[in-house]
Amino acid sequence: MRVALHALCGAAGAAWRESFPLGGRDVARWFPGHMAKGLKKMQSSLKLVDCIIEVHDARIPLSGRNPLFQETLGLKPHVLVLNKMDLADLKEQQKIIQHLEGEGLKNVVFTSCVKDENIKQVMPLVRGLVEGSYRYHRGENLEYCAMVIGIPNVGKSSLINALRRQHLGKGKATRVGGEPGITRAVMSRIQVCDWPLMFLLDTPGVLSPRIESVEMGLKLALCGTVLDHLVGEETLADYLLYTLNRHQLFGYVQHYGLDGACDDVASVLKRVAVRLGKTQKVKVLTGTGDVNVIQPNYPAAARDFLRTFRSGLLGPVMLDRDVLQSLPLADP
């Protein structure tokens, strides 16, 4: 099904798949079991901290957070940082905030660590919460300490580095990476502010062992919180295509110089591969002998499609649009 872009943009999106085939996928396999260990260690360090800064991806503000965080670390004041706002479509930001408030999350900040947006809002919020809370045995301690938690690859280390940059004018203290699972050493304690003297504990990303649905798993994977090969790069590319088309985000057509939007992943990846020169010659045995045919490198094309999306080149996206639409209308 291929339609010219100009024809498409006027259409109401009815031409696109209404649902993504989710059957038969074993989501449990995508989520490594070792993560529970990290959570235990975090729990045992809880007495050292005054506040929890939970970082999550602003493209999935209403899904994919690890419920175990609340269950095990929920006693301390809590700030939710929705990071990567530069990649998120936040037209419905107020609705998101209202919904989170309804769930008891009153301290929410949207940030971008690559654009240094709203980073300066984080420390005053943490300071206010710590000063307004009962610090138990830490009451005498003039140093403040917050633990930075979250699922993998949401920007925990980047946030710590951005806070150091903003408040101390200092460079990177903790390693940042495009793949999930970069922060492995549990609990490095890093100074981010002089006044008040504030330290942050960086922690490894911990996914929920109970992912609600395959679709939530796919959203998490699109955000790079799960290693792509565990899901399958072509499956993930197909879910991305499905999402972009449903949201009428046709930037990929222009980016790859395609002659129209399309909902069939094989034909999109074929064109992407040809466009990028990611093709390979293979020998095929026919009735009349061997012939060389040019075959598109589908996995390479899928990787490029995902990388391009994640770098923001296909435009901002709200992967929780379905969740937002299913919410009751907010009170005026």
Ligand X SMILES: Nc1nc2c(ncn2[C@@H]2O[C@H](COP(=O)(O)OP(=O)(O)OP(=O)(O)O)[C@@H](O)[C@H]2O)c(=O)[nH]1
Binding site for ligand X (CB under 6 A): 83-84, 86-87, 112-114, 150, 152-158, 176-178, 180-183, 204-205, 312
Query: What minimum distance in Å lies between the beta carbon of 292 and ligand X?
Result: 39
Q: Which residues are annotated as a binding site?
A: 83-86, 153-158, 205
Could you tell me which residues come within 8 angstroms of residue 216 by beta carbon, excluding any fewer than 6 positions away?
A: 63, 64
Least spacing, CB of residue 277 vs ligand X, in Å: 26
Amino acid at 264: D
Of 181 and 315, which CB lies nearer to ligand X in the complex structure? Answer: 181
Per the CB < 8 A criterion, the answer to whether 109 and 121 are in contact is yes
Smallest gap from Cβ 182 to ligand X, in A, equals 4
- Binding site per annotation, positions for GTP: 83-86, 153-158, 205
Q: Are 200 and 190 in contact (CB under 8 A)?
A: yes
Q: How far is the CB of 81 from ligand X (least distance, A)?
A: 10
Rounded least distance, CB 331 to ligand X, Å? 31
φ, ψ of residue 149 to 5 degrees: the values are -125, 170
Nearer to ligand X, 55 or 300 (CB): 55
3-state helix/strand/coil string of the chain: CEECHHHHHHCCCCCCCCCCCCCCCCHHHHCCCCHHHHHHHHHHCHHHCCEEEEEEECCCCCCCCCHHHHHHHCCCCEEEEEECHHHECCCCHHHHHHHHHHCCCCCEEECECCCCECHHHHHHHHHHHHHCCCCHHHCCCCCEEEEEEECCCCCHHHHHHHHHHHHHCCCCCCCCCCCCCCCCCCCEEEEEECCCCEEEEECCCCCCCCCCCHHHHHHHHHCCCCCHHHHCHHHHHHHHHHHHHHCCCCHHHHHCCCCCEECCHHHHHHHHHHHHCCEEEEEEEECCEEEEEEEECHHHHHHHHHHHHHCCCCCCECCCHHHHHHCCCCCC
204 versus 296: smaller Cβ distance to ligand X: 204
User: Which residue lies nearer to ligand X by CB, 137 or 184?
Assistant: 184
CB of 209 to ligand X, least distance (A): 16
Pick the closer one to ligand X by CB: 128 or 312.
312
Nearer to ligand X, 64 or 150 (CB): 150
Which lies closer to ligand X via its Cβ, residue 32 or residue 181? 181
Query: Closest distance between ligand X and the C-beta of residue 163, in Å?
Result: 12
Say if CB 176 and CB 75 are below 8 A apart.
no
